[in-house]
Structure 1
């Protein structure tokens, strides 16, 4: 299995090289040269498998023998031992054929744990084998950072630097990152928004001359293919739990950076019978504007009550565009250049393909708060603001009630007490017992100006 860049000018890499490289040298994102295919009979044979065993079956073709089966199984087993529910990703029914899949039972209470517990163990295995050390540099709108730190904090071959937008993540999200005091962990609060953090990381990957000669950057953001690969698994898990592959299943996915729903698209390409994929956005709605009105333009970023989706530059959307444009790297380079200059639109044929694959929806803060309140009143089930966006999108966009619709519940409501209180919940939702002392833990982080040279000097000084 080779991995190629969406912009067509970087060399093809092996799985191991793609994982450790992250962003391609031409600015593109790595994708598999070919998507593995499973027959309906193969998928049906996985019904009833424990989550870790299903993960091995789904992930194995992407690795293509570069890691021994026994080692890959061990990496996967260790990654999901840390989850606090025996089903790993349990399904909860809200109404007839409408379900939420709870993806918040990992160590940091967010869906990012599925990919980043795996990626941390994968990094450790590959780096130990190569006798190599790397610098992990990542940007977070809230959840990726804590999950990445949790996955990498014990890795002796990694120094990790996470940038978050100063005062633009929830207190719980910040403390989950900044209360990890291992010496290889560095939190940077950037005076800017998430897109500024993400641009800083991308610029650093493009020119790594600020690092010592024996170090390179490795990516934990969803630009790293291994993260997408790990997220594909829970689409198979949900579908098999609801009668797949003998019946189709639909999914509604709250998303800002497009990685989580892109994993659903990959699952569909692999043979999973997915009827509908619904893109649920908040007021930062570039994905909805693009699908509904062909408006692929930058707009000012809005600070919302669902901060993990406060993203205007959806990096993983480029991976989809690469397929929509028949894997034409030159066309993607031009399209992304137009977008970076402030205005872009898709060719009509590409837009038509996107609309066949996806529905889209926008849910602002006022509407999201209503959804949380209504669901709690009706069923005593408390949604976090991102999941509420997905539930609202599911109800608005589903084409009928005969196909099960699964909303990805991406975070625990305790991470977002402000939104929950606005919905009328009488108190801050309690943190799980293993995190009950979070607000008593010591914090360590550094506030930095939105300046690339300043950030890169800080990284180099702390290696």
Structure 2
């Protein structure tokens, strides 16, 4: 397998090179030149594997043998040794037709840990093997930053800078990033929103001279390895649920803002996982819901919500899905993305839109419905959902079908978003690791929303000043 760009001007690169490139040098997103097919016989063999064993089987389909088997096994085991649950991503039953996939048992209590703990290990491995500097640069709407920092803090040969929108992440998310005192970590608190941060990251990666001279590496889901790692838990959840039921096909409800997590589910389906519907759960920033329902991809007014990790208008991974739904036509993708850049809108119709609607459902969960869902499930079962997971469950309830079964993704621990939990009149107990954050000093640099200010801070950081 080799990797290519959705825009057609990067091709025939290997796994490690794709990992290090992050964003395609032509501005597109990297994808495998062929999606690997997993047969029903292979699915049956995989059903009894541990999470770590399943990771190795799926990763082997993408890594081309570039990492020796024993080295890859060591990286995977080190990545998931930090998780608090032996199954890594356990599944629990909420009601007869609804299961919850818990993705928050990693060190920062969010689903991003599942991919970013591995990516941190892999960056460390590449830095040592190739004796090179790696400067990780990313933007976060809250969870990516903490997970990425946790994966590489204090690591030799690596520096990491994370941009987050000032005042627009939860307090716990902010503390998880800014209480890290390692000198290889820089947090920039940017005046603006996540889309502003994300746009600057893409601009810097698109400047190939800046990217090369500053040894930039991507941690956001523009990096295909993020998607690859997240694909695993769709398979794992399917195996756990079908062991207990007669159902052979399931739907997944996925809270998403950047289209990365749900694209991983789409990739799993394309690989051969028996998935019925992928239900896309958003909040008031519902550009993706409108795309599924109407075929119109057009950012609206940015809204601050109870689920801040999904407060995103421009979804990084949307281009990957567009590439597949439009028949892997790189020339058309180049045209559409240039049109989007100039006109701020993409519209699809006809057979392409029908295909989108056959594969996806979508529901924009407004604030009160989010809070009501938290209260409803806490009262009924004693299970406390964080506001992002509640959006997923609310969307699953909307698409509930007779005889069907849905797995909804629980993407974060509720302690990360106590602001919303308090509005529900619920008092929760914080895990010890989160309570301790409030006693630690913070270290962050506030910058205005200009690219020039960010570049100035980056150059000082990379040059050791």
TM-score, normalisation: structure 2: 0.96
Paired position in structure 1 for 2:50: 50
CA distance, structure 2, for counterparts of residue 430 and residue 183 of structure 1: 32
Shift of the 404–197 alpha-carbon distance from structure 1 to 2, 3 Å rule, reads same
Find the counterpart in structure 2 of residue 362 from structure 1. 364
Who is 2:436 aligned against?
437
Q: CA RMSD in A?
A: 1.4
State yes or no: 1:272 paired with 2:285: no
User: Deviation at 1:328?
Assistant: 1.0
Q: 1:299: how far off?
A: 0.7
TM-score (norm 1): 0.97
CA distance in 2, matches of 1:272, 1:17: 28
Match of 1:336 in 2: 337
SS at match of 1:351: helix
Q: Deviations over 1:30-77 (max 9, x none)?
A: 000011111111111122221111111111110011111111111111
1:292 corresponds in structure 2 to: 293
Aligned match of 1:460:
459
Q: State the Cα distance separating 1:208 from its structure 2 match.
A: 4.6
Query: Counterpart of 1:202?
Result: 202
- Distance change in 2, residues 1:183/1:208 (3 Å): farther
| Kept in 2: contact 1:278–1:359 (CA 8 A) | yes
Is the Cα–Cα contact under 8 Å of residues 208 and 217 in structure 1 kept in the other structure? Answer: no
Q: 5+ residue gaps in structure 2?
A: none
Q: CA deviation digits over 1:123-142, x for unaligned, max 9? A: 11122111111111100000
| Matched positions, count | 459
- Are positions 1:399 and 2:401 aligned together? yes
Counterparts in 2 of 1:211 and 1:270: CA distance versus 1, 3 Å: closer
1:378 aligns to what SS in structure 2? helix
SS at match of 2:23: coil
Q: Deviations over 1:382-406 (max 9, x none)?
A: 0000000000100101333x23211
Q: Which residue of 2 aligns with 1:423?
A: 424
- 1:376 is matched with 378
Per the TM alignment, residue 246 of structure 1 is displaced from its structure 2 partner at its CA by 7.2
Residue 176 of structure 2 is aligned to residue 176 of structure 1:
yes
CA distance in 2, matches of 1:242, 1:337: 43
- 2:142 corresponds in structure 1 to 142
CA distance in 2, matches of 1:65, 1:210: 31
- Say whether the 8 Å CA contact 1:210–1:460 is kept in structure 2: no
Provide structure 1 residue ranges, at least 5 long, that are not aligned to the other structure.
none
How far is 1:290 from its partner? 0.4
In structure 2, C-alpha distance between the alignment counterparts of 1:58 and 1:343, rounded to whole Å: 36
Conserved? CA contact 1:212–1:460, under 8 Å: no
8 Å Cα contact 1:298-1:339 kept in structure 2: no
Per-residue deviation at 1:212? 7.7
CA distance in 2, matches of 1:355, 1:126: 41
Q: 1:43 to 1:246 in 2, by over 3 A?
A: farther
Q: Which residue of 2 aligns with 1:323?
A: 324
Which shows bigger deviation, 355-364 or 104-113?
Answer: 355-364
What is the SS of the residue equivalent to 1:105?
A: coil
